[in-house]
């Protein structure tokens, strides 16, 4: 590809974006007053054809027309004090004031803000007025010389009714004080649902008075696995315990309700039940004693489907419903191995009795019993998308996490849906470079990716789309052991999701959001929230030339500069300055490091890219099956970009196929100089990532007639696997121009293995030719 074509096709979009950002920055700098209205998150409505209004000094007084608003004002004042700002003075009548007007007939969540005669009025529904106060709160904390409203009067309202965040307190327990702080964070960003994941294999965290052993035994584990030491297992030897008393639960539910947040509890069933079964093994299939799990993953031991187990769970739900007034009760329903049910006399008898053809229908039967019970109590069941398997219970709602397919199916069937796909909404994934980020479960979900999300798939028609209530971010805490770590993983991705769900299709561009985020970071700092600096990371793009690779670096913001090294040394302010028009040549093994600076101060983490240049980098590569859309960053060319993925796995370094058999071909113009081919594969069975059943390597002179080079089965691959090392095979001792590698995966994950019955994942990072 010539330089001009490369520039037009691939670099011009990045340079254009950089230029536009610079213009926006310049324009804002030339305004006669600071545009603080543009720093509110979620964004205020963009009102065309109106003139922004500047308020030099906000009123110091506040007036309420209804006693129900007094608690909202008290919360606002508490927030202001925590941020080091002056609280409002509550008065009954004043010339200049913030005037709150409750208008019960206004749609839920909507408020109107208007500036007239020295008064700032906020009117709307009760929760709408609270959201207006949260807008006012951000204005107050961020203002320096007054504030800017987008118009003299404007109306603001949420696009979605479910604007949620989840928190797993089973894997790691968090104190009541942090749960309240987490709720405050949601409230400040106009989110309205807190999904509280209270039970799992690694800990039962809610007091149930009828079954005290759930907390006496189930809330305790004797240790926790160290990092990702699954095989061989290594534990830390440190006991873990903790649960919330019913008094504490009531306190938290009330605290959230005052902030117009609904707390949705999750009690996992029929899987993820080890903590419960450690306390009451009689409700398992074989009544065998088990321990609370100390490592992450999925256990084969699940609740039995017998009547006594259902009665046990209904008793628990009775107490849960007494604590949580939410319409929805989350019952989990995900990742349920069926191996115990297949061997259980009670479960097999249930299948015969109710005419169920397989264990998937047995799971559906189980969920229907719980759904009917919750419905009889005036509640609705919601569960992860696996509850679709075997048929969806009549009144159940679906939370779609394995992509959007489950949510689409449920919406088409007339069931309510919350979208929460792992691709965009899992905040336990890496958000930046693995080398500078804390250990995470895997994946790669950047701030920009979160902001790109929209919860209503294009494939749904208007009627079906109405069943999508919204979306939520999920925070699984296997690798988050402290409140500060949770905040780091959540922020600023929560800010992006909050704007997506409030603004809907009217959200501003990502660059405008990111510019407002700079001011918002100061807001978060004043409130003592810990956030990730990954948004300040230098972005790199690698392209192929006939005889080498080239890398381009891009700054995260136009106001600043990139400094870099190519000798392996860490970057400092004295390092060479990068010119946005330049490229860095890669025709040998090299370590490139780069960092972003503003005003001579380093702002973000150091980018560190190790390249192992080899003849494979110059090949033409193709695949008969593209990688899964969620693990296709960089496309198939990623496999020959000289960057070998390492563990712990980050989604940006690997391509993934689920339940498919890709055939990948490399082509050269002439025989490359090399003796071996190496392939980087990942084995991480706890994440359903398995080595293939078979690899078949072939070579050819002309691309038509292929001869076998090697054929390897899974047992050999498993025996030879060493983490972070390539599998290697000898190349033919005669001229060749084509190498073809065919991968055959297992048809499904076998019983007794993590993900049993599901499609296995195949992950490949790099293909290398070596001397």
Residue positions annotated with a catalytic role: 200, 272, 335
Q: Calculate the CA 526 to chain-centre distance.
A: 25
Do the bridges between strand 397-400 and strand 417-419 make them parallel or antiparallel, or are there none, so unpaired? parallel
E strand map for 578-650: 584-586, 590-598, 601-602, 607-611, 620-623
3-class SS string, 290-311? CCCCCCCCCCCCCECCCHHHHH
Helices (H) and strands (E) in the chain, counts: 20, 37
The torsion angle over the Cα atoms of residues 584, 586, 589 and 594, rounded to 10 degrees, is 20
User: Of all residues in the chain, what percent are helix, strand and coil, respectively (each to 5)?
Assistant: 30, 25, 45
DSSP element (H, E) containing 749: none
Record the tokens describing residue 369, joined without a space: 């019993």
3-state secondary structure 395-413: CCEEEECCCCHHHHHHHHC
Strands 262-269 and 468-473: unpaired
Q: Which two tokens stand for residue 693?
A: 């059943």
Radius of gyration over alpha carbons of the chain, in Å? Answer: 28
Alpha helices in 83-209 (DSSP H): 126-142, 176-188
Report how far residue 533's alpha carbon sits from residue 530's, in angstroms, rounded to the nearest whole number: 10
Q: Which two tokens stand for residue 710?
A: 């090697």
Tokens linked to 202? 């690694």
CA distance 513 to 507: 9
b or e along 471-502 (b: 16 or more beta carbons within 10 Å of the residue's beta carbon)? bbbbbbbbbbbebebbbbbbbbbbbbbbbbbb
The answer, yes or no, to whether the previous bond of 492 is cis (omega within 30 of 0) is: yes
Q: Which residues, 6+ apart, have CB-to-CB distance to 101 below 8 Å?
A: 65, 121, 122, 123, 124, 129
3-state secondary structure of 698: strand
Q: Per the structure block, which two tokens stand in for 452? A: 């790109």
d(CA 251, CA 676): 64
Reported as type and span, the H/E element at residue 499 is helix 493-503
CB of 433 within 8 A of CB of 608? Answer: yes
Please report, to the nearest 10 degrees, the dihedral formed by the alpha carbons of residues 207, 208, 211, 217 taken in order. -20
CA distance 9 to 537: 24
264 in Cβ contact with 194 (< 8 Å): yes
- Is cis: bond before 270, omega within 30 of 0? yes
Q: Is the dihedral angle over the CA atoms 179, 296, 215, 373 positive or is it negative?
A: positive
């Amino acid at each position: 590809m010539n330089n001009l074509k490369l520039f037009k096709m691939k670099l011009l979009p990045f340079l254009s974006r950089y230029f536009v950002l610079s213009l926006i920055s310049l324009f804002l700098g030339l305004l006669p007053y600071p545009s603080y209205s543009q720093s509110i998150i979620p964004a205020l409505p963009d009102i065309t054809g109106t003139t922004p209004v500047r308020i030099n000094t906000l009123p110091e007084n506040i007036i309420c027309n209804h006693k129900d608003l007094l608690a909202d004002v008290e919360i606002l004042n508490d927030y202001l004090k925590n941020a080091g700002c002056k609280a409002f003075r509550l008065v009954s009548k004043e010339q200049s004031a913030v005037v709150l007007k409750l208008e019960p007939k206004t749609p839920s969540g909507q408020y109107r803000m208007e500036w007239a005669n020295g008064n700032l009025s906020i009117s709307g529904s009760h929760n709408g007025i609270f959201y207006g106060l949260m807008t006012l709160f951000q204005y107050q904390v961020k203002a320096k010389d007054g504030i800017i409203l987008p118009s003299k009067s404007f109306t603001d309202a949420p696009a979605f009714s479910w604007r949620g965040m989840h928190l797993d307190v089973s894997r790691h327990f968090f104190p009541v004080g942090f749960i309240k702080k987490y709720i405050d964070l949601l409230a400040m960003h106009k989110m309205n649902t807190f999904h509280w994941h209270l039970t799992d294999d690694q800990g039962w965290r809610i007091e149930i008075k009828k079954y005290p052993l759930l907390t006496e035994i189930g809330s305790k584990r004797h240790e926790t696995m160290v990092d990702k030491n699954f095989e061989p297992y290594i534990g830390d030897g440190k006991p873990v315990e903790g649960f919330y008393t019913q008094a504490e639960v009531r306190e938290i539910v009330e605290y959230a309700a005052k902030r117009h947040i609904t707390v949705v509890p999750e009690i996992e069933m029929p899987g993820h039940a080890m903590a419960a079964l450690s306390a009451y093994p009689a409700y398992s299939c074989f009544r065998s004693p088990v321990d609370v799990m100390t490592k992450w993953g999925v256990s084969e031991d699940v609740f039995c489907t017998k009547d006594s187990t259902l009665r046990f769970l209904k008793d628990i739900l009775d107490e849960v419903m007494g604590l949580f007034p939410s319409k929805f009760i989350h019952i989990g329903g995900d990742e349920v191995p069926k191996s115990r049910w297949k061997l259980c006399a009670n479960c097999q008898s249930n299948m015969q009795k109710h005419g169920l053809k397989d264990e998937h229908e047995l799971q559906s039967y189980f969920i229907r019993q719980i759904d009917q019970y919750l419905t009889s109590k005036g509640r609705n069941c919601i569960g992860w998308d696996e509850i679709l398997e075997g048929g969806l219970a009549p009144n159940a709602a679906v939370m779609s996490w394995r992509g959007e397919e489950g949510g689409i199916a449920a919406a088409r069937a007339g069931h309510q849906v919350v979208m929460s796909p792992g691709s965009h909404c899992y905040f336990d994934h890496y958000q930046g470079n693995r080398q500078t980020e804390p250990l995470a479960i895997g994946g790669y979900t950047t701030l920009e990716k979160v902001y790109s999300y929209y919860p209503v798939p294009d494939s749904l028609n208007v009627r079906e789309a109405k069943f999508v209530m919204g979306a939520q971010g999920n925070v699984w805490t296997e690798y988050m052991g402290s409140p500060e770590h949770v905040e780091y993983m959540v922020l600023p991705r929560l800010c992006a999701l909050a704007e997506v769900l409030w603004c809907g299709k009217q959200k501003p561009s990502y660059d405008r959001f990111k510019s407002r985020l700079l001011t918002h970071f100061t807001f978060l700092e004043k409130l003592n929230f810990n956030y990730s600096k990954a948004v300040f990371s230098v972005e790199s793009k690698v392209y192929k030339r006939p005889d080498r690779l080239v890398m381009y670096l891009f700054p995260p913001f136009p106001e600043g500069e990139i400094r870099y090294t190519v000798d392996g040394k860490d970057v400092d302010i004295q390092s060479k300055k990068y010119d946005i028009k330049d490229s860095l040549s890669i025709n040998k093994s090299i370590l490139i490091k780069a960092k972003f600076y503003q005003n001579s101060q380093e702002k973000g983490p150091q980018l560190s890219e190790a390249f192992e240049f080899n003849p494979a980098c110059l090949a033409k590569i193709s695949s008969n099956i593209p990688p899964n859309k969620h693990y296709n960053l960089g496309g198939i060319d990623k496999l020959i970009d000289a960057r070998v993925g390492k563990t712990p796995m980050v989604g940006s370094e690997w391509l993934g196929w689920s339940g498919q058999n890709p055939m990948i071909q490399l082509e050269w113009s002439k025989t490359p100089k090399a003796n071996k081919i190496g392939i980087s594969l990942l084995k991480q069975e706890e994440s359903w990532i398995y080595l293939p059943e078979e690899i078949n390597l072939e070579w050819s002179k002309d691309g038509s007639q292929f001869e076998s080079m090697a054929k390897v089965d899974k047992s050999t691959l498993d025996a030879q696997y060493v983490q972070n090392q390539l599998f290697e095979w000898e190349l033919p001792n005669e001229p060749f121009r084509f190498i073809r590698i065919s991968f055959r995966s297992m048809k499904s994950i076998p019983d007794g293995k993590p993900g049993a019955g599901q499609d296995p994942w195949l992950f490949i990072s790099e293909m290398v030719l070596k001397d």
